[in-house]
Amino acid sequence: MKPQDLTGLAVRNLREAMLRNALTTLGVAVGVASLVAMLSLGVGLQQLASKRLSQSGLFDTILVTPKNNFRMGRPQREVASENTPPRPLDEDARHEMEKLPNVLEVYPQIRFYTEVRFDNKPYSTVVAGMPESSQNSGAFDGMQGHFFTTSTADEAILQIEFAKDLSTNPPSLIGQDLILRYAERQALPAPASDSSGDGGDKSGGFSVVPKELHLKIIGIVETEPAAGYGGVGNARLLIPLATASTLRAAQVNDLREIVRGSNANKTVYGSLSVRAKKPSQVEALEASIKNLGFNAFSLLDASKSLRTFFSVFDLLLGIFGSLALAVATLGIVNTLVMAILERRREIGVLKALGAADSDVQQLFFVEAGVMGVLGGIFGVGFGWMLGRAISFGTNVYLQRQNLNPIELSSVPWWLVILALIFAVVVSLLAGLYPASRAAKLNPVDALRYE
Amino acid sequence: MPETRPAVQLEHISRHYQMGETYVRAVDDVSFSVAPGEYLALLGSSGSGKSTLLNLMAGLDRPTSGSILANGRNLAELCPLELARYRRDTIGMIFQSFNLLPRMTLEENIELPLRLAEVERSERPGRVREALDRVRLTHRIGHRPAELSGGEQQRVAIARALVNRPKILLADEPTGNLDSATGETILALLRELQAHLGMTIVMVTHERPLAERFADRLATMGDGKLLSLANSTQGAMQ
């Protein structure tokens, strides 16, 4: 029989026992819906976690530090064996890293202790320079006020706890000024009696001069943006990175660098953050940076572990979701076996009229397939709605807890196609036994059946 | 040149089977042939083996021994698919209980063999109308079998059997569910179609008078054996 005739006949047969077949199809739909809803939650959670973590820069950022002879109080074996002088992490190194392939940006970690004067009262805190890219880190989503107007603006964003220290009504701080008191590093000329003989590239150290900067408070943020990792202390006052670097504020590594004999006129960073364009490029980039003569550290293993965790999580959700579909397949088997009993005589007539065993088999197969396709389509729809409903319920709860809403479920196109294919394949498998049983019916017995 | 080869030739056909502890010889060493264009009636009481013999000729069942030559091929040696093709292309069947599919309209019922034969869709409506014309039921084309009388349903079954233009029409007690007047009409129609289309007809019946009137030859069965094979003087004269 031609495929269109076969399908037409199958659909016609299904329409005749409308209620029973509709209920069986509904069973498949519920099975697929449960599968889609479960996996959509798994995918949604994975996307949520990946988005947050990739925005935070944890998985696409490499922390670069100079090779020290000592780290955490223990000698570094690799440096000891190489016996090469450590390279300073300066502007030259920064430009070199910027030129490496797949590098999105390179920025220094500028954090320093400071005193803030507000309303004539002193407050001690840590200031951090935020790169422009941190605006997309997600930490500034839902902030009060706005992000820095320019990359060199004299503006400050306060962390909420710090803002609460400054005022009992934090939102009222926006638009007000505060004074940042910090230690500026000023290079001293090299002493004439320098006996090293290479004094041309070295200064005579630096002096620390107290300075003040007036900053306008433009926003309040809930949590501190991580902007990678490796920062010192929790920064509670955020200023643009370019503004922070022009301050030439004394850093924790300054003393080490001056002892090491670096030029105090040159900016030497304690650490640099290198962001790759994609998390998958981090491994190669990390190796390239190590080849330049620096220490490089990334959370690559953590990223891999996260992916493994979600794969297992999705698999478990998929298995639980599939249970309902497995029950639905029993419904298909039952419906088709019932149909064989009811249509026994009809099968006999078809065979008497010239239908081959394969025609009868295909007819029942197509009937199972049509139930699978329809069940799959409705199931994907139901599953999507179920996911939305769970997402909606969760967000209502989150909003009651004064938390930001999240996108809990996600139905990507591959899940739709996968669910449809799965529904059809499972239905066809369920149709295998009834179809083969129908095909094997003896036509003489079938025609005699009342 | 007229075809001289028999339409169906049965040679020492037997069909035995086990039913519980009883060994049944439903058909036992039967041999005869049916000429092309002949109208043969298979007579006999219930259980005489006539329906079993008809099923063997239809390729719905296989003989335990012997051969059935139809279209020059031995049905006993055909594979299931070839037997299905034989039923589809060479045979038309009508039954005592009509066996129309109740959910389908007359048009769909008659179209069914055309679907199985993969006849082009564009050709099918014409063929269906032609078949319905022959049984004079064109005006009921959109009706369902339940809306028709027994006689009309049997005429539809005949139209369905004819639509693939078979060479052999096999009828299993076609008047069994009809009153005598309607039964006569059906047999007259079969005779008329046979005359027009030159088909071979083998009809199972237990109504000897009707068989005498319409068939060319009468084969009488008893206990699975062929008891007699004789010309029907009345049928042959028509």
Question: Hey, are the CB atoms on B87 and A1 less than 8 Å from each other?
Answer: no
How many Å lie between the alpha carbon of B173 and the closest alpha carbon of chain A? 13
Instruction: Look at chain B and report how many structural domains it folds into.
Output: 1
Say if residues A177 and A215 touch (Cβ distance below 8 Å): yes
Does A274 share its domain with A261? Answer: no
Rounded to 5 degrees, what are φ and ψ at A215? -125, 145
Q: Bridge-partner residues for B205, per DSSP?
A: B43
Size of interface A-B (CB pairs under 8 A): 65
Cα–Cα distances (Å) from A305 to A51, A71, A137, A302, in that order, read 16, 26, 22, 5
Asked if B117 has any chain A CB less than 8 Å from its own CB, the reply is: yes
Residue B117 falls within a domain, yes or no? yes
Shared domain check, A243 and A149: yes
Q: Does A147 share its domain with A76?
A: no
Is pLDDT of A76 > 70? no
Which residue has tokens 């220094």?
A: A108
A444 touches chain B (CB under 8 A): yes
Same domain (yes/no): A100, A147: no
Dihedrals φ, ψ of B4, to 5°?
-105, -20
For the CA atoms of A327, A329, A332, A333, what is the dihedral angle to 10 degrees?
-100
Residues of chain B with Cβ-Cβ distance to A352 below 8 Å are 58, 60, 87, 93, 95, 99
Q: Is the pLDDT of residue A207 over 60?
A: yes
Task: Compute how many other C-beta atoms are within 10 angstroms of the C-beta atom of residue A36.
Answer: 31
- Residue for token pair 């190489």: A82
A231-261 pLDDT, tens digit each: 445 778 889 988 888 887 777 666 666 666 6
**Residue A80 burial by CB count (10 A; 0-12/13-18/19+): exposed, middle or buried?**
exposed
Residue A12 touches partner B, C-beta closer than 8 Å: yes
Nearest to A444 among B61, B84, B103 (CB): B61
Residue of A317, A318, A367, A320 whose CA lies nearest to A25:
A367
Q: Does B112 touch chain A (CB under 8 A)?
A: yes
Contact of A350 with chain B, judged by CB distance below 8 Å, is answered with yes
Q: Is the pLDDT of residue B154 over 50?
A: yes
Query: What is residue B36's DSSP assignment?
Result: T
- Comparing CB atoms, the residue among A12, A355, A357 nearest residue B116 is A355
Looking at residue A74, its pLDDT comes to 47
CB contact under 8 A, A2 and B60: no
CA-to-CA distance for B210 and B228, rounded, in angstroms? 17
Distance from CA of A366 to the nearest CA of B (A): 16
Which distant-in-sequence residues (6+ apart) come within 8 Å of A227 by Cβ?
A56, A57, A128, A130, A131, A134, A137, A273
A159 and A194: one domain?
Answer: yes
Any B CB within 8 A of A345 CB = yes
At residue B23, the 3 state secondary structure works out as: strand
Beta bridge partners of A121: A118
Question: For A328-349, what is the mean pLDDT?
Answer: 84
d(CA A27, CA A239): 58
Same domain for A219 and A232, yes or no, is yes
Query: What confidence category does residue A229 fall into, taking pLDDT thresholds of 50, 70 and 90?
Result: low
Structural element, H or E, at residue B169: strand B168-172
> Which residue range(s) make up the domain with A329?
3-54+306-448
B33-60, pLDDT tens digit by residue? 999 999 999 999 888 999 999 999 999 9
Chain A: closest CA distance from residue B85 (Å): 6
What is the distance in angstroms between the Cα of B99 and the nearest Cα belonging to chain A? 7
Does residue A281 carry a pLDDT above 50? yes
> How far is residue A72's CA from residue A77's CA, in Å, rounded to a whole number?
13
- Is there a single domain that holds both residue A132 and residue A41? no
Write down the pLDDT at residue A350. 93
| pLDDT for the residue numbered B87 | 93
User: Scanning every residue of chain B, which has its alpha carbon at the shortest distance from the alpha carbon of A346?
Assistant: B101
- When the pLDDT of each residue in chain B is averaged and rounded to a whole number, the result is 89
- Which of A1, A350, A358 has the CB atom closest to B118's CB atom? A1
Give the whole-angstrom CA distance, residue A42 versus residue A48: 10
A194-198, A224-228, B193-197: which range is least confident on average? A194-198
Going by pLDDT thresholds of 50, 70 and 90, the confidence category of residue A69 is very low
Distances (CA, A) of B28 to A23, B10, B13, B77, B224: 51, 12, 7, 19, 5
The 10s digit of each residue's pLDDT in B74-126 is 999 999 999 999 999 999 999 988 999 988 999 999 999 999 999 999 999 99
3-state secondary structure chain A: CCHHHHHHHHHHHHHHCHHHHHHHHHHHHHHHHHHHHHHHHHHHHHHHHHHHHHHHCCCCEEEEEECCCEECCEECHHHHHHCCCCCCCEHHHHHHHHCCCCEEEEEECCEEEEEEEECCEEEEEEEEEECHHHHHCCCCCCCEECCCCCCCCCEEEEEHHHHHHHCCCHHHHCCCEEEEEEEEEEECCCCCCCCCCCHHHCCCCEEEEEEEEEEEEEEEECCCCCCCCCCCCCCCEEEEHHHHHHCCECCCCHHHHHHHCCCCCCCECCCEEEEECCHHHHHHHHHHHHHCCEEEECCHHHHHHHHHHHHHHHHHHHHHHHHHHHHHHHHHHHHHHHHHHHCHHHHHHHHHCCCCHHHHHHHHHHHHHHHHHHHHHHHHHHHHHHHHHHHHHHHHHHHHCCCCCCCCCCCCHHHHHHHHHHHHHHHHHHHHHHHHHHHCCCHHHHHHCC
**pLDDT digit string (tens) for A136-164?**
766 777 788 888 888 888 899 988 888 88
User: Of A149 and A55, which is predicted with more confidence?
Assistant: A149
Per 3-state DSSP, chain B is made up of helix, strand and coil in percentages (nearest 5) of 40, 30, 30
**A447–B60 C-beta distance less than 8 A:** yes
Residue type at A348? G
Q: Which residue of A has its CA nearest to B88?
A: A354
Give the 3-state secondary structure of residue B57: helix
How far is C-alpha B212 from the geometric centre of its chain's CA atoms? Answer: 17
pTM attached to this predicted model:
0.67
Average pLDDT over chain A, rounded to whole? 80
Chain B interface includes A18 (CB < 8 A): no
Residue of B nearest to A15 (CA): B103
Q: Are residues A47 and A88 in the same domain?
A: no
Asked if A16 is an interface residue toward chain B (Cβ–Cβ < 8 A), one would say yes
List CB contacts (< 8 A) between A12 and chain B: 103-104
The answer to whether the beta carbons of residues A108 and A271 sit under 8 Å apart is yes
A445 lies within 8 A of chain B by CB: no
What CATH number is attached to the domain comprising A67? 3.30.70
Residue B136 has pLDDT above 50, yes or no: yes
Structural domain count, chain A: 3
Residue B185 lies in a domain: no
CB atoms within 10 A of CB A330: 12
- Residues A85, A26 share a domain: no
Give pLDDT, residue B1.
47
Chain B residues with beta carbon closer than 8 angstroms to that of A5: 115, 118
> Residue A56 CB: number of other CB atoms within 10 A?
20
Q: Do A357 and B80 touch (CB under 8 A)?
A: yes
B61 and A358 in contact by Cβ < 8 A?
Answer: no
| Cα–Cα distance measured from residue B3 to residue A353, given in angstroms and rounded to the nearest whole number | 26
Domain with B156, as residue range(s), is 99-165
Helices (H) and strands (E) in chain B, counts: 8, 10
pLDDT tens digits, A401-413 = 877 778 888 888 8
What is the nearest CA distance from A18 to chain B, expressed in angstroms? 13
More confident residue, A303 or B209: B209
> How many Å lie between the alpha carbon of B238 and the closest alpha carbon of chain A?
30
**Best residue in A350, A353, A436 for a mutation probing chain B (most B CBs within 10 Å):** A353
- Asked if the C-beta of A352 comes within 8 angstroms of chain B's C-beta atoms, the answer is yes
Give contacts of B118 with chain A, Cβ < 8 Å: 1-2, 5
pLDDT in the model for residue A358 = 92
Give phi and psi for A64, each to the nearest 5.
-110, 130
Instruction: Pick the residue from chain A with its C-alpha nearest to B54.
Output: A444
Per DSSP, the residues of B204-220 read: EES-HHHHHHH-SEEEE
Q: What mean pLDDT comes out for the span B187-193? A: 89
Residue B5 DSSP code: S
Q: What is the pLDDT of residue A227?
A: 45
**B81: helix, strand or coil:** helix
B160 touches chain A (CB under 8 A): yes
Q: Which residues of A touch B160 (CB under 8 A)?
A: 353
Torsion sign across C-alpha atoms A53, A59, A60, A66:
positive
- A350–B89 CB contact, under 8 Å: no
- To the nearest whole angstrom, how far is the Cα of A361 from the nearest Cα of chain B? 13
Assess B103–A contact: CB distance below 8 Å, yes or no.
yes
- For chain A, say whether B115 makes contact (Cβ under 8 Å): yes
Interface-testing mutation among B60, B79, B98, B111, with chain A (most A C-beta atoms within 10 A): B60
B71 shares contact with chain A (CB less than 8 Å):
no
Q: Determine, for residues B87 and A350 on separate chains, whether the beta-carbon distance falls below 8 Å.
A: no
Q: Please report the pLDDT score of residue A72 as a whole number.
A: 47
Task: Compute the distance between CA of residue A25 and CA of residue A8 in angstroms, rounded to an integer.
Answer: 18
> Does residue B88 sit at the A interface (CB-CB below 8 Å)?
yes
Number of Cβ within 10 Å of residue A52's Cβ equals: 14
Contact B81 A345 (CB under 8 A): no
Does residue A366 sit in the same domain as residue A396?
yes
Q: Are residues A154 and A292 in the same domain?
A: no
| Whether A88 and A25 share a structural domain | no
User: Cβ A354–B60 below 8 Å, yes or no?
Assistant: no
B56 touches chain A (CB under 8 A): no
**Chain B residues with beta carbon closer than 8 angstroms to that of A346:** 101
Reference B199, options B188, B191, B207; nearest CA is: B191
